[in-house]
Amino acid sequence: MLLILLIGGCNDIKQSSTLGDILDTGVLKVGTTYGLTTYYNGATGPVGFEYELAEGFADYLGVKLEVFPYYNLDDLFPQLTDAHLDMIAAGISVSPERYQRFKFGPGYQRVSEKLVFKQGKEWPRSIKDLKGDLVIAAGSSHHDSLLRLQKDNEQLSWQETDDSDMEELLEMVLSEELDYTIADSNILALMRRRYPDLSIGFSISPEQDIAWAVNKDRDDSLLAALIEYFGIIQNNGILAALEDKYFGHVRQFNYVDTREFIKSSREVLPEFKPWFVQYSNDLDWRLLAAMSYQESHWDPKAISVTGVRGMMMLTLITASELGIVSRLDPEQSIKGGAKYLTKLLKRIPDRITQPDRLWFALASYNVGLGHLEDARVLTERQGANPDMWIDVKIRLLQLRQKKYYKTTRYGYARGNEAVAYVDNIRRYYDTLVWLDEQQPQMLEPEITPDETSTQDGSEVAD
């Protein structure tokens, strides 16, 4: 209410302002586009980075969120201009041309526009190297960026399409239906986990802010609320946590690892999938499979120099506690790994919510619950939130530094490995979910698990 009074001054805000109208109706109308980083219907309902941010803003205002998803920005912008929408939250970059047409809230991400081609084709390092068809999504900021480049490169030409979005155009580059397209760096980071043969030629624009757009001709009351909202979620860590949830694990890209994982998912995983499904219980079998790949690359006979063994790399003590006779038996190893992760999840404090709860449990699987608690203690000492992964993972890195670990209960730990461990599993899991949804037949076994299990309880050197 203080915010409303500050904006409205002596005027009756509920009668005259954009924000007042929203509060009167009790509804915030937000336009967006369908996509990986914006909005789509998942297994449990609407999801997406932009959707979660918008949902948080509606909660902050105390109103209901109504989302109006569109297939392209060309259809979306007129709805804002005609005041049919209160704002647009669609991961749109603040280009100079758009800045002339709309007002924008605070920038909450930075992206650049990348020219994309297929791995193995001739690498275009500049506009002059383009030798083929360049197609972009209609209504994107890429149009304006290309127009600016065309001033110094008269030979530059391209086509625009309403029929395909950015993700589809990337897939068309892979299938060689076209030679080049342009994608925003945040979307490309996610897509390369699915399609590692997407390669970057060069940037066609410097980094730009991503921000929400509001109607330029209306008052600034809604804009002021946006500024305050983003200030709050920046200070309390919610924005950083959401950004990490959707993008934190894909900032680093490894072409060889990604290709090898997708190949193994199709050629090796089907043999063991029935056990991942059987023993997952309340867990997602694809998460267990991602863990197992990180641990052993789905090798039942994997042995570490530290003495951990099998597909889920269990210690001898942990296996004994879980009733696992043979760590090198794939079924027993998967069963034990699932039981151990479930046990760790139950030991994470109840107040810690998902997905942070899961990230903590995964880190504990790798580095131990004691070291995780040390990192959480350091986090609290340093004034950050010990219940948020985005804050705790920074302190896990500190467990390698003497000035920090000498003050903890359990001392030195390779906390950097635990952070990488969680990030890798998240990447593998995302890719598995996509493969399972798009090509489920590729992950199905050709033989039953009983034909591969040793079932004799034997294990060497234990």
Q: Of 167, 295, 331, 459, which one is the catalytic site residue?
A: 295
Cis amide leading into 355 (omega within 30): yes
Paired tokens of 385: 């939130």
Asked if 314 contacts 340 with a C-beta cutoff of 8 angstroms, the reply is yes
Asked if 48 contacts 40 with a C-beta cutoff of 8 angstroms, the reply is yes
Contacts 24+ apart (CB under 8 A), 443-452: 443/265, 443/266, 443/269, 443/270, 443/273, 444/270, 444/273, 445/270, 445/271, 445/272, 445/273, 445/274, 446/270, 446/271, 447/271, 448/274, 449/271, 449/272, 449/274, 449/275, 449/331, 452/271, 452/272, 452/330
What's phi and psi for 445, nearest 5 deg?
-75, 150
Closest CA to 264 of 283, 288, 289: 289
Paired tokens of 325: 């006779």
Q: Residue 359: in which H helix or E strand, if any?
A: helix 356-367
Is 50 among the residues known to form the active site? no
d(C-alpha 188, C-alpha 115), whole Å: 10
Asked if 201 contacts 103 with a C-beta cutoff of 8 angstroms, the reply is no
Closest CA to 372 of 385, 384, 360, 383: 360
Asked if 325 contacts 459 with a C-beta cutoff of 8 angstroms, the reply is yes
d(C-alpha 337, C-alpha 276), whole Å: 10
d(C-alpha 423, C-alpha 439), whole Å: 24
**Site of tokens 């047409």:** 101
Length of the chain equals 462
Paired tokens of 231: 């200030």
> Could you report how far apart the first and last alpha carbons of the chain are, in Å?
67
Residues of the chain by 3-state class (helix, strand, coil), percent to 5: 50, 15, 35
Residues belonging to the active site: 295
